[in-house]
Structure 1
Amino acid sequence: MKLFIKYLLILFKSQMQYRTSFLLLTFGQFFIPFSVFAGLYFLFERFGQLKGWDFYEVALCFGIIHMAFAISECLARGFDSFSILIVNGDFDRLLVRPRSTVLQVLGSKFEFTRFGRLLQSSLVLGWAVGNINVDWTVIKIVTLCLMIASGVFVFTGIFMLAAAMCFWTIQGLEIASIFTDGGREMAQYPLNIYQKWVTRFFTFVIPFGCVNYLPLLYILGRAEGSSTLYMLTPIAGLLFIVPCLLVWRFGVRHYRSTGS
């Protein structure tokens, strides 16, 4: 962790060398999801509810998934741009260093301008929590925190899988955007508004449903059967990182050096 924090400080200082650019990019990141949220607001202003979900319930979904995405995009950006290390042959240097390649790739790039997106999602989340009709208990607050952490792990795992594909394809595949940007846009709404096969895929294969939909049912008191099971579903999102790490290790073992 000490090394990881050093990576953070070094890259933060380098980005702050151009403070005007940093502030403008951060400002822009604040307003990018704002336009999406405005569309969400006008949708409910016109129709009132969406398949039984009111505005503040969906706003809670929105805030959680966008906050998780902002944190993951900030801290795991090294995996998103990993193809550059492969193309330039810089990954070879990481292999001869006495530290984990996961840690080094994580520390290769941080996008601190995503603080703007994080701030915007935090405001939406706080607004939704303050207005939603929920009797907040310690367990529900812990569940909410687990939902955010689970989302961070899911997005980071997808970035890691996309990076692992670079060991065979050299360049990153844009198909990963379907599950990062597309997953973010889809998971900002409760999953039961979609077709059943979509809900099942994004619950049992890529567990966005365990990040947002299922634990949200527990928080709102809509869980059917054991509420404890719904409360613990974010753990599936945390565990999603395990197979992603295994795929990454498999790719590293089969990596062919540039030979330079």
Structure 2
Amino acid sequence: MVLYFKYLSILFKSQLQYRASFWLLTFGQFFIPFSVFAGMYLMFERFGELRGWTFYEAALVFAVIHLAFSLSECFARGFDMFSGLIASGGFDRLLVRPRSTALQVLGSQFEFTRFGRLLQSAIVLVWALAKLPIDWNAPRAVTLALMVACGVLIFTGIYMLFATLCFWTVQGLEIGNIFTDGGREMAQYPLDIYKKWVTVFFTFVIPFGCVNYLPLLYVLGRAHGHPAGYMAMPLAGVLFLLPCLAVWLIGVRHYRSTGS
């Protein structure tokens, strides 16, 4: 982790060399999800509720998934941009270093301008929590923190899976956006508004439901059962990341150098 934070410090300083560009991009990133949230607000303003969900409950769903996505975009950007390392032969350089390739790729790129998107999501989160009559206790607070943290792991795992494809395809595949951007857009609403097969897929295959919808029922006091079960649900993000890392290691073993 010392090496990881060293990477982070170097890249942060390099991006601040162009301060005007950095702050303008950050400012722009603040308003990108704002337009999406405004659309949600107008929808609830017109219809009142969505399948029994109030605006502030849906806003909490929105905030959690966008917060997780923003953090993954910022700190796992190296995997999203991995095709550039393959095409340029830069991955060869990482292989000769005595550190994990996953750690080096993770530290190869950070998008600090995504802090604007992160700030917007945090504001929505605080606003929604302030408006909802939640009976707070330690288990609920821990569950909410795990929802965000494990959501980051799911998005990171998806980035890692599609980065692995670059070992065979060289260039990144746009199909990955179906599960990153598409998954974010889908998971920003409660899962029970979708068809059953969608709910099943995004609960048992890509477990967004386990880090957003199901534990949120407990946080909002809409679920029955032991709190420990709901607290453990976000850990599905860890279980999702582990096979993604295993697939990554398989890809590394099948990598063929560019020879340049």
TM-score by length of 2: 0.98
1:108 is matched by which residue type in structure 2? S
* Unpaired runs of at least 5, structure 1: none
1:118 is matched by which residue type in structure 2? L
CA distance in 2, matches of 1:29, 1:105: 24
CA distance in 2, matches of 1:239, 1:220: 25
* Aligned-residue offset at 1:226: 4.1
* Aligned-residue offset at 1:231: 2.6
Partner of 1:144: 144
2:63 is matched by which residue type in structure 1? G
The alignment partner of 1:110 has SS state of coil
CA distance in 2, matches of 1:238, 1:69: 16
The alignment partner of 2:97 has SS state of coil
CA distance in 2, matches of 1:132, 1:238: 29
CA contact (8 A) 2:143 2:230 kept: no
Deviates more, 1:16-25 or 1:130-139: 130-139
Partner of 1:52: 52
2:136 is matched by which residue type in structure 1? W
CA distance in 2, matches of 1:176, 1:224: 36
2:46 is matched by which residue type in structure 1? R
* Aligned-residue offset at 1:220: 1.6
Structure 1 vs Structure 2 CA RMSD = 0.8
The alignment partner of 1:245 has SS state of helix
Equivalence map 1:121-200=2 (5 Å): 121-200=121-200
CA distance in 2, matches of 1:239, 1:27: 35
CA contact (8 A) 2:161 2:247 kept: yes
Partner of 1:3: 3
Partner of 1:61: 61
Identity of aligned residues (%): 72
CA distance in 1, matches of 2:9, 2:226: 45
* Aligned-residue offset at 1:115: 0.3
Partner of 2:228: 228
CA contact (8 A) 1:223 1:230 kept: no
The alignment partner of 2:17 has SS state of helix
Verify: 1:248 aligned to 2:228, yes or no: no
* Aligned-residue offset at 1:254: 0.6
Partner of 1:31: 31
Deviates more, 1:140-149 or 1:213-222: 213-222
* Aligned-residue offset at 1:61: 0.5
The alignment partner of 1:233 has SS state of helix
CA distance in 2, matches of 1:3, 1:227: 37
CA contact (8 A) 2:75 2:110 kept: yes
* Aligned-residue offset at 1:230: 2.4
The alignment partner of 2:105 has SS state of helix
The alignment partner of 1:17 has SS state of coil
CA contact (8 A) 2:153 2:237 kept: yes
Deviations 1:112-163 (A, max 9, x none): 0000000000000000111112111111010000000011000000000010
TM-score by length of 1: 0.98
2:45 is matched by which residue type in structure 1? E
Partner of 2:79: 79
2:130 is matched by which residue type in structure 1? G
Partner of 2:20: 20
The alignment partner of 2:161 has SS state of helix
* Aligned-residue offset at 1:228: 2.9
CA distance in 1, matches of 2:159, 2:167: 14
Partner of 1:90: 90
The alignment partner of 2:218 has SS state of helix
CA distance in 2, matches of 1:71, 1:57: 22
1:210 is matched by which residue type in structure 2? C
CA distance in 1, matches of 2:213, 2:31: 25
Verify: 1:239 aligned to 2:218, yes or no: no
